[in-house]
Amino acid sequence: MTASMEILDGIAVLNLGDDENRFTPDLLDTLHALLDRVQSNGVQALVTTATGKFYTNGLDLDWLAAHGDETQWYVGRVQALLARVLTLGVPTVAAVVGHAFGAGAMLATAHDFRVMRADRGYFCFPEADIQIPFTAGMAALIQAKLTPQAAVASMTTGRRFGGPDALRYGIVDVTADEGAVTDAALDLARPLAGKDPGTLAAIKTTMFGAAASALTAADSMASR
């Protein structure tokens, strides 16, 4: 199953897939195409979710190992996605139905709000343990959305946060039972729907301009 999207009463529900949903170049292209639809079809809010035990495991490390000469291009594409979600002109809610690791956890962080399964699944930035330092853009994104305490606890330790711990640190906003995560995200999104897209995008760009600029700087360099 590849990424897909349906519109429910004006809310786009974007499903990332039913496997580890790693950011292959093809998946990145699909996600950008689906976001184009969000921005052109009068959608009033966006919920991202997945099917199975993963929300997304983030970077496709196997692809990177086989295409080392394209690392800068690839990271730029991932960061462009994060920046786009961060400043999107509709309310956004991540339904973290399963594991969210690395850049996958960053994708959830780029949303306005996050709902996480309470009983199973981890939210984790494993970079300290896998010896991959954060890029300036990725660090800026996390630090723009989390408290200093939560940023240190998550970025420097590789700690795996379950739903209750993530809620306690303010990493997520709501927890829900198995099978209810996406519905809880929709419940969170509905009252926020109907905002003017241009105004909301401008507000988010002002709020998170430094993080968005740091993220898109890599994309700009990679496209030269």
Domain-located, residue 223: no
Answer whether residue 66 is part of any domain: yes
Kindly indicate the confidence band of residue 91, based on its pLDDT and cuts at 50, 70 and 90: very high
224 inside domain: no
Q: State residue 54 phi and psi, 5-degree precision.
A: -120, 140
Residue 18 lies in a domain: yes
Amino acid identity at 122: Y
Residue 88 lies in a domain: yes
Q: Which residue has the tokens 């970025």?
A: 155
Kindly state whether residue 54 falls inside one of the protein's structural domains: yes
Predicted confidence at residue 41, as pLDDT, reads: 84
Report if residue 202 sits inside a domain. yes
Q: Hey, which bits of 34-147 come out as E strands? A: 45-49, 54-56, 92-96, 99-101, 113-117, 123-124
CA dihedral 147, 153, 155, 161 (to 10 degrees): -100
Dig out the tokens for 66 from the structure.
């086989």
Q: How much is the pLDDT for 124?
A: 98
Average pLDDT, the chain: 95
| Confidence band of 2 (pLDDT split at 50, 70, 90) | confident
The whole domain housing 58 covers 4-216
pLDDT higher at 219 or 39: 39
The CATH number of the domain where 165 resides is what?
Answer: 3.90.226.10
Note the pTM of the prediction, 2 decimals: 0.95
The count of structural domains within the chain is 1
Report the C-alpha gap between 127 and 5 in whole angstroms. Answer: 30
pLDDT higher than 70, residue 218 = no
pLDDT digits (tens, 9 = 90+) for 66-76: 999 999 999 99
Q: What's the pLDDT tens digit per position in 180-211?
A: 999 999 999 999 999 999 999 999 999 999 99
Task: Give domain status of residue 221, yes or no.
Answer: no
Q: Which residues contact 148 (CB under 8 A, 6 or more apart)?
A: none
Decide: helix, strand or coil at residue 178.
coil
Burial of 42 (0-12, 13-18, 19+ CB in 10 A): exposed
Percent of the chain at pLDDT exceeding 70: 97
Of the pLDDT bands very low, low, confident and very high (cuts 50, 70, 90), residue 78 is very high
